[in-house]
């Protein structure tokens, strides 16, 4: 494993551990971490598996009972699927890591996360509550969380991708880029 890959893995793990710091709901680096992993890790397997492993590690540290059993069974598998989607978006921007592409990828991931996780909350609701009205209400109730997701994804993407750009400018060995296999 190259020094570059080890450093990138460290950045991803550090981002995942930032979940442990008190924060507003959904204002976390998780989406940005997966986007970054997908875009910057040349090894396709690592690009998908490392963000998932970092998320799992932070879930274990937080304690699996923190979320409650309903959340673990219903929502966390969906969240992990969204992490895979963020990594896939990252693979798409691998060779186009401009501020616009990264910002667009972060916004696309946040929208996908909002739509999918709120739908999962609605599906996992109590039997008999599945109506169009309750679905709309689920999305309306999720808007404050969506705002934090967007802020977190954009801010942490700026930190991760901007930090990498600075490292690539300063450290010659960070500039080595292995051609990534398109997603």
Render pLDDT for 151-160 as a digit per residue (tens, 0 to 9). 999 999 999 9
What pTM value is reported for the model? 0.87
Checking if the pLDDT of 183 tops 60, the result is no
Angle between helix axes 44-62 and 3-17 (nearest 10 degrees) is 30
Scan for tokens 């609701």, then name that residue.
125
Would residue 26 be called left, alpha or beta, if left means φ above 0 and alpha means ψ between -120 and 50 degrees?
left
CB 153 within 8 A of CB 26: no
The number of C-alpha atoms within 13 Å of 86 and in the hemisphere containing its C-beta is 35
CA 87, distance to chain mean position in Å, is 7
State pLDDT tens for residues 41-84: 999 999 999 999 998 888 877 766 565 555 556 678 899 999 99
Return the percentage of the chain with pLDDT > 70, whole number: 88
Average pLDDT of the chain is: 87
Please state the rounded mean pLDDT for residues 156-165: 94
75-79, 102-106, 163-167 — which one is most confidently predicted on average?
102-106
Q: Where are the domains of the chain?
A: 3-175
Query: Rounded to an integer, what distance in angstroms lies between the CA atom of residue 183 and that of residue 179?
Result: 12
Checking if the pLDDT of 124 tops 90, the result is no
Q: What pLDDT sits at residue 127?
A: 65
């Amino acid at each position: 494993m190259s020094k570059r890959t080890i450093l990138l893995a460290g950045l991803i793990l550090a981002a995942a551990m930032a979940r442990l710091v008190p924060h507003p709901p959904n204002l976390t680096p998780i989406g940005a971490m997966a986007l970054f992993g997908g875009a910057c890790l040349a090894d396709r397997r690592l690009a998908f598996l490392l963000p998932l492993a970092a998320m799992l590690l932070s879930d274990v540290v937080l304690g699996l009972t923190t979320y409650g059993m309903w959340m673990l069974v219903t929502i966390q598998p969906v969240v992990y699927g969204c992490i895979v989607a963020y990594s896939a978006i990252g693979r798409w921007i691998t060779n186009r890591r401009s501020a616009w592409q990264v910002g667009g990828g972060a916004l696309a991931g946040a929208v996908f996360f909002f739509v999918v996780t709120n739908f999962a909350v609605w599906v996992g609701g109590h039997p008999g509550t599945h109506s169009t009205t309750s679905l709309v209400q689920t999305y309306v109730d999720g808007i404050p969380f969506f705002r934090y997701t967007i802020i977190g994804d954009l801010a942490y993407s700026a930190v991760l991708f901007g930090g990498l750009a600075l490292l690539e400018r300063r450290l010659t060995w960070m500039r080595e880029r292995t051609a990534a296999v398109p997603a």
